[in-house]
Structure 1
C-alpha cells in the first residue's frame, strides 16, 4: 500500500538528519534526506532497510511515513520493549499526534484507519485502558483451550475436504484465510454460516479497497446483531462473557471490541499460518526437524514469529513530552513506530539468525507491556493445530512452484504471502464432523456487503463515486477528531 507524496512536503521536521548524515546518500530518500518507510523500494527489502537504518542511526531512526510525515522507527529489541512498557512517556492515545493536531495529515491518508482514535482499549491509557482491557482479557481467559483445538481440527478437516480430491490447492485462499475466521466466529458465538462472508468482508477492509467502508458496515451490522442476540439469550461464548463482565460495556463498546478482536486476530493468524506453511514446505531445517521429531510444530510457529511476524511494525506510540531516547531527541507529540520485525533481528540479541530459537517465546510479535496481545495463545493454537491437521491429511504435500516464485504483497503493517500453491496425492474427502448447533439464528435477511469485484453493468443513476464517498467519510472523521 503506497501513496503519492504531497507536492509540498514539510522539510522543517525535528526528525530531519543533519547535513552529511549517511541518509542523504542512500535511498529510498524523502525530503531532508530522511528515508521513507513506504513505497516500492522500502517494501521490496524491508530487512535491508532496517539493517541500513540501524547502521546509520542506531536503535532509533528518523523515517518518513505515508505522506512524508515524520516519525521515529524503533529498531532495537530493548528499545521496543521500553516504549511498549512505558505508557507514561509513550502513550497509545493517537490524539496526541502533533501532525494530526496541526492539520498535516491528509483526509485520505492510509494511516488514519490504523491510528484514528476510537474509544477502544488499544487507544486508551490508565484507568480507562484497565477497564476495557480487563473485559477483553478476562473474557478470553474463560475459553477451554482444548475446546478451541477441537474446533480448529473440525474446520481444518472441512477445508481440506474441499480440495483433497483435486491433488492441488492454493493454501492462502483455500486454507489460511478461512481457518481463523471460521474458528473465531465459533468462539464469538456465531453460527458457522457467518464465517465465509466475514472472511470476504475482512479481506476487503484490510486491503483498503473502495468498498472497504461498506464491508466495515457489514461487519458492524453483523456484530450489533450478535450483541443484541447475546443480551437476550447469553451463551458460553466470548460475546456473552464480554457483555456479562463487570466493566459493564455499553452495546456499542461491546460491538467495537468484538470487531477489534475479530479483525486483529483474523489478520495476524492468517498471516502466521501462511508464513509457517511456507517455511515448513521450503526450509530444509524445518522439513528435517519435523520429520525427525526434533522440532514440534509449535516450535516451528515460534521460529516464524521471530523471523516473519504477522505484523512487521505497529503505528504507534506518541511521546507525552520532550525526551531523549536512544541518543535521539524526541519531541512531544512525535509518532513512534514499533519495529517488531526489526527488533526480532536485532544483532544485540540474535547475532546469528541461522541459529534456531528452539521455542523461545520472547519475541516482539505480540508486543509487550499493557497492550500485549491478549489472544496470542488462541492464535498459536489455531496455527499449529490447523497446520498439523493439514499435514496429517496430506503427508506428501509439497510446494508446486519454486520458493522464489512466491508472490508477496506489502501493506501498512505487514508483508504477506499472496499465494502458496501446493500439490499432493489426491485423496477422498473424509466425512465432515458436525458438533454443536448454531447459538445465534441467522437473521431473516442477512446483510449483504459488496465484494471486491467489478461493478454491475447497470448501476443506479448518477451514483456518487466510491472514492468520493471514502474521502468524504475520512474528512468528516478527521474533522471530528480535530474538534475533540
Structure 2
C-alpha cells in the first residue's frame, strides 16, 4: 500500500476505472475532435478520468499537467512493465489485441525500469548519438530535395502525402542501412501500428520481418549504421533485443516526426506572421516547433504506465495493476498551468510532447534536424508558397494515440 491516504470514488468525484462513466477514446467521436472529449472528461472528473481503449479495455487517462509529470517522473509508483497489468494477467485482454502493439511488454528499453532500462537505453542513446554525427543532415537534404523534385513542376502539392508522410522514414532507411525501397512500406505499416485496428498485428509482423532480416545481414556485414551500432554495442544486446529496439526507434521516430513536420508546416502556412517571421529571419524554426509541441504534440496520448500499488492520483483511487495512459495534449492545455493558450510559449520547453522522466524520447535531436532542415529547404525551393484552401477546410483524423493532419494542399510559383 502506498503511504498516500486513499480517498473513495465518491469523495474524489471519480469512479473506478472502466465504470459506467468511462468514455471511449476510440470510435467516430474520438476520431473527429478528441479535444471535446478531453474537455468533457476534465469538467466531470478533474485531472484523471476513467476511459475505455480499443476493445473497451479499461484505463485511467491522465489529463492534468502535474499529474502527468508525477506519473512520468516516478517509475517506482508507475511502471512501464505491462506484466503487472491486472486486466492482462486476468485474461480480460488477449495477447492478440491490437492494443498490445502499443502497451504490451517487449524486450526493449521502453518496457523496462531500473537497471535493465539503463542498460538498454544506454545502447540506444549511444547508437543514436553516433548516427546523428554521421552526416544525417546530408541524408535529410538528399531526400527532401528528392521529394520536392517529384512535384515541383506541377506548381501544387499536398505537403502531407507528398512530403511529410514519408520523408522521415526515407531518412531512417539510410540511418538504419536499409534499402530506400523499403521506406514507403515501413512508413505505412508504422502508421497502421499506431492507428490500431484489426490490421495492426499484421503490419507489426511485416515490420519485424524486415528488421529481422536487416539485423541478420548487419551481423554478417556490419556498416556505419544504427543497426550495426546496436549489434556492436558493449551492452551485449541479444538478437531479440536488437530487433525490438530497431522496431521501437523506427515506429516512434517516424510517426512522431512525420506528424510534427506536418503540423509545423500547417502553422507556418495558416498563420502568415509565422511564415513572414521565418523568411525575414526574425523567427527561428525552433520557436515554431516549440509552439507546435505545446499545442499539437505528435503523440496526443502516450501508452502506458501501470500502478505498482494502490494509490491516489488526482483524487482517483488507482489500484495496483491498473493501466494509465498519459494525456500529453490534454496536459499541455491544462488550464491550471496554461490558463490562456494565446500567451506565447517561446523559450518554454517544459511541454510534455517528448514525455519526461527516465523514458523521455531519446531521438529528439534527430527529429529536430529532420524538421528544421527539410522546412528550410522547402521554403527556399518553393517561392511564394501558400495554402491552396481556406484554413477552415483543413481536417484531422485521430486515433487513441495521435491526431494526424489529413492533407495540406499548397500552391507555389514554378
TM over 0.5: yes
Match of 1:181 among 142, 166, 169: 169
How far apart, CA to CA, are the structure 2 residues paired with 1:211 and 1:46? 23
Q: Is structure 2 residue 284 aligned with structure 1 residue 296?
A: yes
Structure 1 gap segments, 5+ residues each: 1-13, 24-29, 427-484
Q: CA deviation at 1:344?
A: 0.8
Aligned twin of 1:86: 74
Q: For each residue in 1:220-242, what CA deviation from the matched residue of structure 2 results, as whole angstroms up to 9, or x when unmatched? A: 23222222222223222211111
Match of 1:56 among 44, 47, 50: 44
SS at match of 1:141: helix
Q: CA deviation at 1:107?
A: 6.0
Structure 1 residues 15 and 376: alpha-carbon distance in aligned structure 2, compared to 1, 3 A threshold: farther
Q: Is the 8 A contact 1:95 1:117 kept in 2?
A: yes
Aligned twin of 2:386: 398
Aligned twin of 1:338: 326
Aligned twin of 1:197: 185
How far apart, CA to CA, are the structure 2 residues paired with 1:48 and 1:207? 20
Q: CA deviation at 1:182?
A: 0.9
Give the 5 Å matches for 1:125-164: 125-145=113-133, 147-164=135-152
Q: Is structure 2 residue 298 aligned with structure 1 residue 310?
A: yes
Q: Is structure 2 residue 177 aligned with structure 1 residue 218?
A: no
Q: Is the 8 A contact 2:7 2:312 kept in 1?
A: no
Structure 2 gap segments, 5+ residues each: 1-5
How far apart, CA to CA, are the structure 2 residues paired with 1:207 and 1:342? 19
Aligned twin of 2:247: 259
Q: CA deviation at 1:348?
A: 2.6
Aligned twin of 1:281: 269
* Alignment RMSD: 2.5
- How many residue pairs get aligned? The number is 407
How far apart, CA to CA, are the structure 2 residues paired with 1:257 and 1:142? 16
Aligned twin of 1:42: 30
Q: Is the 8 A contact 1:300 1:359 kept in 2?
A: no
How far apart, CA to CA, are the structure 2 residues paired with 1:16 and 1:102? 24
Give the 5 Å matches for 1:424-439: 424-426=412-414
Q: CA deviation at 1:120?
A: 1.5
Q: Is the 8 A contact 2:62 2:327 kept in 1?
A: yes
Q: CA deviation at 1:208?
A: 4.3
Structure having greater relative contact order (Cα 8 Å, sep ≥ 6) = 2
Structure number with bigger Rg: 1
Q: CA deviation at 1:106?
A: 5.1
Aligned twin of 1:463: none
Q: For each residue in 1:302-347, what CA deviation from the matched residue of structure 2 results, as whole angstroms up to 9, or x when unmatched? A: 1111100010011210000111223222110111111100111122
Q: Is the 8 A contact 2:109 2:117 kept in 1?
A: yes
Structure 1 residues 106 and 245: alpha-carbon distance in aligned structure 2, compared to 1, 3 A threshold: closer
Structure 1 residues 147 and 39: alpha-carbon distance in aligned structure 2, compared to 1, 3 A threshold: same
Q: TM-score, normalization: structure 2?
A: 0.91
Q: For each residue in 1:415-471, what CA deviation from the matched residue of structure 2 results, as whole angstroms up to 9, or x when unmatched? A: 111211111122xxxxxxxxxxxxxxxxxxxxxxxxxxxxxxxxxxxxxxxxxxxxx
Structure 1 residues 170 and 64: alpha-carbon distance in aligned structure 2, compared to 1, 3 A threshold: same
